[in-house]
Structure 1
Amino acid sequence: MIGKLKGIVETLGDDTALIDVNGVCYEAHCSGRTLQALPRVGEAAVLFIEMIVREDMIRLYGFATEGEKSWFRLLMTVQGVGSRVALGILSILSPSDLSSAIALQDKAMVGRASGVGPKLAQRIVSELKGKVPAGVSIDAGAMGLQTALVEGNASGNVSDAVSALVNLGYGQAQASSALARVVAKEGEDTPTEKLIRLGLRELSS
């Protein structure tokens, strides 16, 4: 079984990467986040590999981190989640964001992925609750802010900024995570407009 590839980036496709390992090129299907993290064509790269063998095919799935690979495996245990849907979820959510979404039962955040409808999103967050892969952290700042929002203890400017980001289409956990990082740097008394602007910058980075 292939667990990791170390080689040179031969080509990058819409959802695949071709890695040259000592003259042998391996095609790996990757999430959008992994493809963005890979170096340019001709440069050295490392991919963590999940190899799926079936009667009619052998396919490699490549990931930038062990955490992303672990989440891919875990997502595939949910009925209705195939490799394409799992990669779609990992294309929009980092392992940490996904861990937070599952912990907070934020089905809207998971439902932003291509191919994930409301029922499947609910099944994913329900079945995977408490099953964060080893080595993948939950954003403690996001959890604390989310708890404060639920209990009504978050400051008005922070609460308004979270609402604004959610209205722009971001998940509650994702918005909370971004603003928790902003508040840690800028302080809770930062004006709402600035929180939103910096929050969007965090979400796009």
Structure 2
Amino acid sequence: MISRISGVLIEKAPPQVVIDCHGVGYECEVPMSTFYNLPALGEKVVLLTQFIVREDAQLLYGFGTDRERQTFRQLLKVNGIGAKSALSILSGLSVDDLAQAVALQETALLTRVPGIGKKTAERLLLELKDKFSVDGLTAPAGQPKSASGDVLNALLALGYNEREAMAAVKQLPADVVVADGIRLALKSLSKS
């Protein structure tokens, strides 16, 4: 298995890059989050990789962080999600946004990713439910799980975009009730 690749970046054509390692050019597909953080052509680059062998191809996927690679591996375990879909999800959402969507069981964020429909999004949320944890978004035992989700839905209904609303919800205490959560979230959003 190829776990890591280090060399000189010689080609960039989203989502593919080519890395020259001592005269051999390795083609890697990378999510856009990694692509945007790549150095200029001709500079040294290090990527963590996932090597996938199929009947008709041998594919190398590259990631800037171990967290991205681990998320990619978790996505591959979901029934019906292949490498292309997993790469598309990581290109459309950051790992934190994906974790928040899973914690809040929000299909809306996932369905915005090209190629992910409502049923696939629901399957992703169901199968990844215990795989991600986001501080402040998972409800403690005995608390209703929907408090954070209800606060998020209220903020979205008030016209805030998903990124702003999720950032505000993430700052809430874990034991907050819906009414107090909405008030605290609105207060933090008004300061922004």
Distance 1:143 1:40, change over 3 A: farther
- For residue 83 of structure 1, what is the aligned residue in structure 2? 83
- For residue 96 of structure 1, what is the aligned residue in structure 2? 96
Distance 1:189 1:38, change over 3 A: same
User: Which amino acid in structure 2 is aligned with residue 36 of structure 1?
Assistant: Y
- For residue 13 of structure 2, what is the aligned residue in structure 1? 13
The alignment's C-alpha RMSD in Å is: 3.0
Deviations 1:17-45 (A, max 9, x none): 11111221110011111111111111111
Q: Is the 8 A contact 1:162 1:179 kept in 2?
A: no
User: Which amino acid in structure 1 is aligned with residue 37 of structure 2?
Assistant: A
Deviation larger for 67-76 or 113-122: 67-76
Deviations 1:138-163 (A, max 9, x none): 4425568x83562x6x9xxxx54774
Q: Is the 8 A contact 2:103 2:137 kept in 1?
A: no
Shift of 1:108: 1.1
Shift of 1:11: 0.9
- Structure 2 gaps of 5+ residues are 140-145, 173-183
Distance 1:160 1:99, change over 3 A: closer
Distance 1:128 1:149, change over 3 A: closer
Higher helix proportion = 1
- For residue 203 of structure 1, what is the aligned residue in structure 2? none
Distance 1:163 1:16, change over 3 A: farther
Distance 1:105 1:188, change over 3 A: closer
* TM-score normalised by structure 2 residue count: 0.77
User: Which amino acid in structure 2 is aligned with residue 81 of structure 1?
Assistant: I
Deviations 1:101-133 (A, max 9, x none): 11211111111111000111011101111013x
- For residue 111 of structure 1, what is the aligned residue in structure 2? 111
Distance 1:188 1:175, change over 3 A: closer
- For residue 165 of structure 2, what is the aligned residue in structure 1? 176
Deviation larger for 76-85 or 24-33: 76-85
Q: Does 1:38 align with 2:35?
A: no
Shift of 1:74: 1.1
Q: Is the 8 A contact 2:67 2:95 kept in 1?
A: yes
Structure 2 Cα separation of the partners of residues 63 and 43 of structure 1: 17
Specify which of 160, 164, 167 is matched with residue 165 of structure 1: 160
Q: Is the 8 A contact 2:49 2:60 kept in 1?
A: yes
Structure 1 Cα separation of the partners of residues 167 and 35 of structure 2: 22
Number of aligned residue pairs: 176
* TM-score normalised by structure 1 residue count: 0.73
**SS of structure 2 residue aligned to 1:140:** coil
Q: Is the 8 A contact 2:168 2:185 kept in 1?
A: no
**SS of structure 1 residue aligned to 2:114:** coil
Q: Does 1:131 align with 2:131?
A: yes
